[in-house]
Amino acid sequence: MHLPIPSASHDLGFGHDNYPTAPQIPMDLFISKKHPDLAHGELGFADSSGNLVFRTKYISSKRCSSSKWVILDKSRNPIISIYRQKNGYWHGFKGDSEGENQMTFKVQRTLNKIFRTELEVFLVKENSGESASDFKIKGCAFQRSCIIYGGDAIVAQV
């Protein structure tokens, strides 16, 4: 996976009231379930030296119907929590929060075929209604590949 993400020392900005700033240096990330530092069921994103940069963790709640995926930084601090909604959307929130004012994005599946899936990502902006998607994700689960578009430009490839 090639993503233009910040270096490890760069502030991601998710602890503030703004979105992350533009990254300084593009970085290749390698996705694995078998990294030695991962617990069972976690998915890791490592840099070219094998150091974990991000990890995902699934948290199921028996008290309520909401379960979530949490993206953690290398120190295991929550960056984003992602909840599946009953209407088919996914909502992403800053850190480990769930409040409406902490929502950063929504994702909607627009195509779900056997060999092709498409998603639209809407960033939550202050004082704006629903608009065109900010990103589109097109992929194929069987080929384990996807392309992320920002407009007509390719932003990332897996």
Per-residue pLDDT of the chain (158 residues; tens, 9 = 90+): 545 444 433 344 444 444 455 556 677 888 889 999 999 889 999 999 999 999 999 888 766 666 889 999 999 999 999 998 888 889 999 998 777 678 999 999 998 888 899 999 999 887 666 667 899 999 987 778 899 999 999 998 88
Token code pair at residue 117: 């899936």
Beta carbons of 148 and 137 less than 8 angstroms apart = yes
Which residue is associated with the tokens 């498409």?
Answer: 118
Q: Structure pTM?
A: 0.71
At residue 101, φ and ψ (nearest 5 deg) are: -75, -5
Q: 108: burial class by Cβ within 10 Å (0-12, 13-18, 19+)?
A: middle
Taking the C-alpha atoms of residue 69 and residue 75, their distance in angstroms, rounded to an integer, is 17
Token code pair at residue 34: 């078998």
